[in-house]
Amino acid sequence: MIASLQRVIERLNQQPGTNLKLEVIHSFYPVASDPASGFVQKTLTAFQTAYQAYPMHTQPHLAVINGATDASVFVKANRQLPVIVVGADNWEISHMVDEYTTLSSFTATINGYKTAIQSFFA
């Protein structure tokens, strides 16, 4: 991808008065955790349990998403560190124009985090 961006910049720099430069200041690794791992399964169960109180919302499930998260920073020191991304409401509305969350989904997400923390540290 970087090579293709560099080619585009070189082509643009052929125009008079254009002097673009590409500097990669950090490259993030893709993040993937084993869906069968204890961490992933305990966390998924915690959030599914929390969302049962709110049947109007889609139940949490495992999925692959595209985007940037802090998880790519967390795994820099340990590529085997299991991580998941969890948030309120649907991923399809995240970081979009007019994004929103409902109070019920926000509350269910907080309860999911509480349950997950208790299952790991109690």
Asked if residue 96 belongs to a domain, the reply is yes
Asked if residue 99 belongs to a domain, the reply is yes
**Quick one: pLDDT band at residue 15, thresholds 50, 70, 90?**
very high
Supply the pTM of this predicted model: 0.72
Asked if residue 50 belongs to a domain, the reply is yes
Asked if residue 14 belongs to a domain, the reply is no
What pLDDT sits at residue 1? Answer: 67
**Rounded-to-integer distance, Cα 59 and Cα 112, Å:** 12
Asked if residue 100 belongs to a domain, the reply is yes
> What is the extent of the structural domain holding 113?
30-121
What backbone torsions phi and psi does residue 14 show, to the nearest 5 degrees? Answer: -75, -15
In the chain, the number of structural domains is 1
Q: How many residues does the chain have?
A: 122
The string of pLDDT tens digits covering residues 47-76 is 999 999 988 888 898 888 877 788 888 888
